[in-house]
Amino acid sequence: MAQLFTIGHSNHSIENFIQLLQKYGITALADVRSHPYSRYLSHFNQVEVKQALKDVGIGYVFLGRELGARPRDRTCYVDGKAIYEKIAATPLFAEGIQRILKGSQTYTIQSL
């Protein structure tokens, strides 16, 4: 049975973050951040984290457009606040979930 793990980057160094992924046998990371950048920890910016993972043989896929908490679809907001139920009901979200499920048949996936 496939497993899906979740993690936040917190204030980890990239080395510690990768060690955590390796500890649990993670072979791919699905980045679900709407905006894959960190103001304070640049090693968690999309380009940097993708390269660091590639260097140790861990795959990276960006799914923030599909699964992120700040979608571009304005119908997902009420009074400027994103409503999860509306996000989860979109075809784009369903597409993201299907990509995770399909990927989990091949990879042990961690979402960020």
The pair of three-digit structure tokens given for residue 33, joined into one six-digit string = 């951040």
Q: Regarding predicted confidence, which is higher, 18 or 106? A: 18
Q: Regarding predicted confidence, which is higher, 107 or 2? A: 107
**Looking at the 3D structure of the chain, how many domains does it have?**
1
Alpha-carbon span 49 to 74, nearest angstrom? 29
Alpha-carbon span 24 to 18, nearest angstrom? 10
Stretch 98-112: mean pLDDT, rounded? Answer: 86
pLDDT digits (tens, 9 = 90+) for 77-94: 999 999 999 999 999 999
Provide the domain limits for residue 48: 4-111
Residue 17 pLDDT: 95
Residue 23 reports pLDDT greater than 80: yes
pTM, full prediction: 0.88
Reported as half-sphere exposure (CB side, CA atoms, 13 A), residue 16 has a value of 7
Residue 60 pLDDT: 96
The pair of three-digit structure tokens given for residue 112, joined into one six-digit string = 């960020």
The one-letter amino acid code at 89 reads: A
Residue 23's region, left for phi above 0, alpha for psi from -120 to 50, else beta, is: alpha
